[in-house]
Structure 1
């Protein structure tokens, strides 16, 4: 699934659609991991751009990378 945005209704609608698909079994586990991975890539991109501004951003960027690695390992 694509179309995630960080602000406005589109991000909420996308999240709600994705969650509904997961909980209703319309989406397979693999597709769920793919959707989460796509969101993680977007978050990583955002934190990569701001990670040098503050140590908190740097720590969050590392957390995002760690979560992403766990998703890849489970795939």
Structure 2
């Protein structure tokens, strides 16, 4: 069995995710998201969708980017 890097659970169905900057072993997608997903610079939620990026700063949506003063990012209409 493999131990989850986030919660420490020793689980027979754990999986490994490889990224450019490393990765890890997880027992659930929830733990993988907690460890790997970027955080919105405005509301601090985990970005698990497309999100938005401006000058290397990540936002969960165009609304958060606008609240942070970014101009020119719009959600699809």
State the TM-score, normalized to the length of structure 1.
0.29
State the TM-score, normalized to the length of structure 2.
0.29
**If each structure's helix is expressed as a fraction of its own residues, which one has the higher value?**
1
**If each structure's strand is expressed as a fraction of its own residues, which one has the higher value?**
2
